[in-house]
Structures are given as structure tokens and as C-alpha cells.
């Protein structure tokens, strides 16, 4: 835990994880192993090897493994109407009511946001996405999407694998053939 970080628990911090200078981490947050977290975080679960190192708010969210959240990316976790939040359900293939007043975003494994991204309340971002640009990211972003929220393209699988390999090599790990096959199967099922 670096200087001037404030943790107001209960908070779980996994092995080899780092809380950055000046971070504000509120209760209900669970940070998995080998993560780097900064900015303001509340009621959020980070799986392992994910980063949110810079300023920006992330609240009441679920972050998969190997996710990178760019500087000054923010999410909303409360609607302006104060009503319960709906989110996209893979099971129902439609939005359903969460029954919760607070629900930020769900970000799938190996997804990335660029700097200054804004993520709407209840947004579900699939696996292997690379998102950037000034438009509000909202509702549902299918697996392996690339680009600005209003101009998404399908992420080329080879480029996804190259990025995943580089990211894992930085942690002295490899992107295995088994992982590649798993993600290829998901890629081929993309909604």
C-alpha cells in the first residue's frame, strides 16, 4: 500500500497486489492477486492480474482477469432516477432488472479501456474487448469488440492473442495453447 492511500474496510487485498498513491478504496472491495489499483473504488471485485492504476471512479462493479482500465476511466453505479439498475443477461439474451439501486459495470477477461472512457450504469462488457473514444459505453458490448462505443468492430482474433501474449509475458507467464483454444471457441460463438 503506497503513501496517502486510504482503505476504509472491509477490503480484501490479494497477494502481490499494489494500491497506488492517493487511492481511495471503500468497503466491499475485493482485489485479487497481482493487481494494481488506484483512484476511487467502491464495492468492486477485481479478479487477478487486473489493473486500474490511475484516477477515475469504479463502483459496484465486477472486473475479470487481465483487465486494464485506462487513466480517468469512470463508471456510473447509480441511475439519475435512483431506480433499480437493469443489465444485460447472457442467459436471457436481454436486459433484466438487477433489483439493486447500485450496479456499476461488469468487464470480462482480457478487456481494456482507453483513457477518459465513461461507462454507463449496469453496462456489461464482454471478454476480449478493446474500447476507447469519447462516446458513452453503455448497455452491452459483445465479446471481442474493438473501437469506439458507437463504431464497434469485431476484434481480429490474432491481434487479441498477440496482445494477450504480451500482457502475460510482462508477468512472466505465457498465453497457453489451451487458453488460446478456449478463447477461440468463445470468439466463434460471439453474439
State the Cα–Cα distance between residues 142 and 162, nearest whole angstrom.
Answer: 20
State the Cα–Cα distance between residues 51 and 34, nearest whole angstrom.
Answer: 9
Q: How confident is the model at residue 191 (pLDDT cuts 50, 70, 90)?
A: low
In sign, the C-alpha dihedral spanning 17, 12, 37, 161 is positive
Residue the block writes with cell 480484501:
12
The reported pTM is 0.96
Domains of the chain (ranges, CATH numbers): 6-156 (2.160.10.10)
Three cell numbers, residue 8: 476504509
Residue 14 backbone class (left: φ over 0; alpha: ψ -120 to 50; beta: rest): beta
pLDDT at 19: 99
Three cell numbers, residue 86: 437493469
Phi, psi of 162 (to 5 degrees): -60, -45
pLDDT at 190: 77
pLDDT at 29: 99
Give the neighbor-by-neighbor strand order of the sheet with 45-46.
11-13, 29-31, 45-46, 62-63, 105-107, 123-125, 140-141
Amino acid at each position: 500500500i503506497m503513501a496517502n492511500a486510504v482503505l476504509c474496510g472491509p477490503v480484501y487485498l490479494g497477494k502481490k497486489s499494489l494500491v497506488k498513491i492517493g487511492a481511495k478504496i471503500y468497503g466491499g472491495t475485493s482485489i485479487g492477486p497481482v493487481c494494481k489499483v488506484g483512484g476511487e473504488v467502491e464495492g468492486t471485485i477485481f479478479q487477478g492480474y487486473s489493473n486500474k492504476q490511475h484516477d477515475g471512479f469504479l463502483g459496484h462493479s465486477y472486473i475479470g482477469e487481465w483487465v486494464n482500465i485506462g487513466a480517468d476511466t469512470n463508471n456510473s453505479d447509480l441511475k439519475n432516477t435512483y431506480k433499480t439498475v437493469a443489465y444485460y443477461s447472457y442467459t436471457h439474451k436481454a436486459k433484466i432488472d438487477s433489483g439493486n439501486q447500485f450496479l456499476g459495470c461488469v468487464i470480462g477477461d482480457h478487456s481494456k479501456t482507453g483513457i477518459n472512457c465513461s461507462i454507463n450504469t449496469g453496462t456489461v462488457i464482454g471478454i476480449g474487448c478493446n474500447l476507447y473514444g469519447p462516446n458513452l459505453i453503455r448497455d452491452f458490448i459483445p465479446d471481442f469488440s474493438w473501437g469506439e462505443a458507437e463504431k464497434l468492430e469485431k476484434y481480429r482474433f490474432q491481434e487479441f492473442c498477440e496482445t494477450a501474449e504480451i500482457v502475460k509475458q510482462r508477468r512472466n507467464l505465457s498465453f497457453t495453447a489451451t487458453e488460446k483454444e478456449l478463447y477461440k471457441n468463445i470468439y466463434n460463438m460471439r453474439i
